[in-house]
Amino acid sequence: MEEYEYINTELGLATQGNFIYNKNSKFPTSTKLEEEEEEEEEEERPRKKLRLSKDQYACLEDIYRATTFSHQTKINQMKMECDYLKEVCDSLSNENQRLQRQLFELRRWVKPEPTPQAN
């Protein structure tokens, strides 16, 4: 296998070039510009569709089922808690109304003490 070393050759105000240098050869084998052109050509080609293996698909399906089941369980639990809290709220509202009526009745029966008038 050939060993490659990156050599950076820069000129102050001129263009810069990065070469891949083959240690066994006296001349650079490829420039950075050529590599960029190759990458652009690869990007232009349509991508091949990636497919899951059967094992990956089965694993993904199992995770989906478990997650869906977990979410459904949580939703059902939240619905039950919501119904319970509605019942508690209704009972507290009823009790509050009952206590307010009792307070109104008690205030009707109790006469306020007359306040002394200043002469």
| The Cα angle at residue 93 between residues 100 and 98, in degrees rounded to 5 | 30
pLDDT tens for residues 58-117? 999 999 999 999 999 999 999 999 999 999 999 999 999 999 999 999 998 886 666 777
- Predicted pLDDT at 68: 94
Residue 40 inside a domain? The answer is yes
Is 14 part of any domain? yes
pLDDT for res 29: 53
Q: What is the domain extent for residue 29?
A: 4-44
What pLDDT, in 10s, does the model give residues 7-60?
655 554 444 455 444 555 555 555 556 666 667 666 667 777 888 899 999 999
Question: What's the pTM value of the predicted model, to 2 decimals?
Answer: 0.43
Residue 28 lies in a domain: yes
Q: CA-CA distance, 30 to 18, in Å (whole number)?
A: 9
In a domain, 18, yes or no: yes
| Residue 82 is assigned to a structural domain of this protein | no
Total domains present in the chain: 1
Residue 89 falls inside a structural domain: no
